[in-house]
Each structure stands twice: as structure tokens, then as C-alpha cells.
Chain A
């Protein structure tokens, strides 16, 4: 004998946890006296448990990063520009303020014992944050798409300031080594955007970053007196193994 539609609806609603107290009582009375109804309820409950028990799929590790990279930066057009916006709207001032901010940030983060001389060589453990990545002219960039690290590294320049802009997402702890061929170039500061847990060390011709897994945005500031040609060789390592190598070239505009 077919189950009355009213009770089929009640059984389904009960399975979905959408019955009122009165409906529950009515359904229980029906089920206690109807084997077919109980069988349907049991079948649907088993199906519900199966469906609800299916584990969620994990999104691809770099998807969030890719989405964020594809979203254009926007500004609220109705807002009147503040002091910093006015400053940063002027290219020359943008550079000057950015450079000053980089130096200030570096100085503010270094303890006196870490500073061996005024060129900031041989320093370790700098950690800081910047509100926005620096927007200097792009010289060259590389894209990484490895299993455990993806993203871009760009070399930007503004006068004698060179900026290595790391925009990465990693699935492991990664060590990044940047060697610059021109030994007269010196490390001039480091900043990171909304991330923590990074270690930095610098010596003549080389900067090392230790990054934890996750999304990371770094800026390494280099001083290139005379804006000479140079190449920055990048090496990415996980567990002591090299997982990616790349080079970034800088040539001054004529």
C-alpha cells in the first residue's frame, strides 16, 4: 500500500530536520504503525547520512592566489584623496617617499648590534610590513609554477633603487637565494605585505629569504649606485633541494 503523500512529505522533512514539534509527534505516531513508512524513513536517513558524510574537496593550493592576482586593484572614486594619496600620485614624490619609507623601515627594524656599517650588509632577521607594494618601473619578471611554489618575482627600478618584488604562494617552507652579479650593489632594506614568519639575511652580493608556507609578498630593496647593468640570479630551495632557478636582468634605459 502506497504511503499517503502527506506522510511522504513529513518523512522527507524529518530527514532534513525541517519538521515542527507537532509534525514530529504526528510522524512518530504514523511510523509506529506503518512498516512501509519506517522502511522509507530508514532508507532516506541512510541516504542523507551518506550524502552528508562525503568529504569536501580541497580547492587547488594556488587558486586563491591566482584569483587575487586576476582581480584588478580598485580605488573608491568618491573618496577625496588623503595626504599619502596626493604624495603617491606624483611620480617623483612616490619614488622619494617609497625610498625613504624603505630606509626608515629598515632602520627602524635593525637593532644597533645588527648594523655593522652604513651599507646594511650582513644583517639578519629583519621583519616589517608595508601598506602597499612599491610601484617602480618593471625591468623584468619571472613566473613560477612548481608543485610547491607559484607566483611571480619582478625586478623593478627607480633611479638607483632596485626592488625585488616577490609575490608568491608556497606549500612548503622555502628558502630563496638572490645573488646579484654586481658586487657594488648593496642590500638596502626589506619589507613584507601582510605576512609574518620570514627570515632575511644579507651579505655582499647575496640576499637570503626563509619563507613559511602560505601566500607571501615581499620587497627586497637594493641600492644600485649609477644604475648599472646587472643580473639577479634566483634560486628556490625546499629541504635543501633546488626546486626552481631563474634570472632577472636589469638594463638602464638610455
Chain B
């Protein structure tokens, strides 16, 4: 969805149009849920965080800066909420592995699920600040500039965190086989 489309929807949301909010929800439900899941490695927690994120968005439309892209705002809220959730619940990392159903044939499903589980397990060994960069880059498809905008950090820091995180992931995945 383009920035203009988002801006129009947000204007309608501020005016009390629930259908506009539902359209935003339809657009961002999946990436927000996935980002939360990758941060927390737990479906129930990801669901709760996603619900909190959209309620916060709804309650704080007045604080949204239309000169920025909407996804930057909502992804930032998502990652902050996820980090808060980790802190509040004292969920020390690495978290327990949660089996992932990838919806394929038995053999493919097994390989795919194992790979996905290994990646998730490796991801959970990476510090939260670094994990956010990997999630934004590889699971939400953001560019360096967009990641910098979302996390409000310089592009140089984005690169540095991404390289470090990838090195750790690479080593961890090798250990996991």
C-alpha cells in the first residue's frame, strides 16, 4: 500500500471510520503478527502483542506524523511492544522452541518446519536490538534506510547490527546442523 493510500485511510480513521481502520488492519495484521512472533517465538504472545499494537495505533492516531511512512510507525510500535513484553514477562532468552506448522507435505513439512525452527531458535540467541534489524530486513523486507527510520538509528548502525547478527546466526545455524 502506498504512503498516500495509508495517509487517506488514517485521515478516515481519525474521523471515526471503522472500515478504514479495518482496511489498515487487513493490510498490516500479517506483518505485525509475524514481527511479534519472530521477536517472541510464541504464537499466543504474538497475538496479544498484535492486538495491543492495533489498539495503540487506534488510540494514538493523533500522534502519527504524516510526513513519515505509516509502516515505520506501526513496525516501531510492534518492536517496542515486543521488547516490552519480553521484559515484563521476564522471558529470558533463548525461549523454548515452538513447533511451526508450515502446511506442506509430510516430508517437505518436516524439512521446512525443522529449518524454520532452527532459524527461529538461532534468532532467539541474538540480542533483541540486533534481532529487530534481522526481522525488519529479512521478514518485513525493509531497506537500510527504512530500518534506520523505524528504529531511529543511523544507517551505519543498521549495517553494523545486521552484519553482527548475521554472523551470529550463521554460527548458530551451523551448530544446530
Contact = CB atoms under 8 A, between A and B. Distances in A.
B16 A74 contact: yes
B18 A68 contact: yes
B58 interface: yes
B16 A59 contact: no
B51 interface: yes
Given A63-B50, A67-B54, A57 B159 contact: no
Contacts of B46: 57
Contacts of B102: 55
B84 interface: no
B55 A60 contact: no
Contacts, number: 92
Contact of B15 (A13, A47, A73, A76): A76
Interface in B19-46: 19, 21-22, 25-26, 29-30, 33-34, 37, 43, 46
B4 interface: no
A111 to B, nearest CB: 30
Contact of A71 (B21, B34, B162, B166): B21
Nearest to B145: A18
Interface stretch (B63-71, B72-80, B85-93, B133-141): B133-141
A26 to B, nearest CB: 17
Nearest to A132: B18
A2 to B, nearest CB: 13
A116 interface: no
B119 A57 contact: no
A16 B51 contact: no
Contact of A75 (B16, B21, B37, B103): B16
A49 B58 CA distance: 36
A16 B166 CA distance: 12
A57 B51 contact: no
Nearest to A15: B166
A9 to B, nearest CB: 7
Contacts of B16: 73-76
Contacts of A59: 29-30, 33, 47, 50
B125 interface: no
B43 A60 contact: yes
Interface residues of A, number: 33
Interface string A152-191: 0000000000000000000000000000000000000000
Q: Which of B19, B22, B30, B43 has most A Cβ within 10 Å?
A: B22
B174 to A, nearest CB: 9
Contact of B143 (A18, A43, A50): A18
Interface in A40-95: 43-44, 47-48, 50-52, 54-60, 63-64, 66-68, 70-71, 73-76, 79
Interface string A1-19: 0000000110011001010
A164 to B, nearest CB: 21
Contact of B58 (A47, A51, A66, A71): A71
Contacts of A96: none
Contacts of A44: 166, 170
B134 A71 contact: no
A194 interface: yes
Contacts of A18: 143-144
26 contacts: A8-B163, A9-B159, A12-B166, A13-B159, A18-B143, A18-B144, A50-B173, A51-B134, A54-B119, A55-B103, A55-B112, A55-B116, A56-B30, A57-B100, A59-B29, A59-B33, A59-B47, A63-B47, A64-B22, A64-B25, A66-B51, A67-B29, A68-B22, A71-B58, A74-B16, A75-B16
Q: Please name the 7 residue pairs, one residue from A and one from B, whose CB atoms are nearest each other, closest first.
A: A51-B138, A74-B16, A59-B33, A76-B15, A75-B16, A67-B54, A12-B163
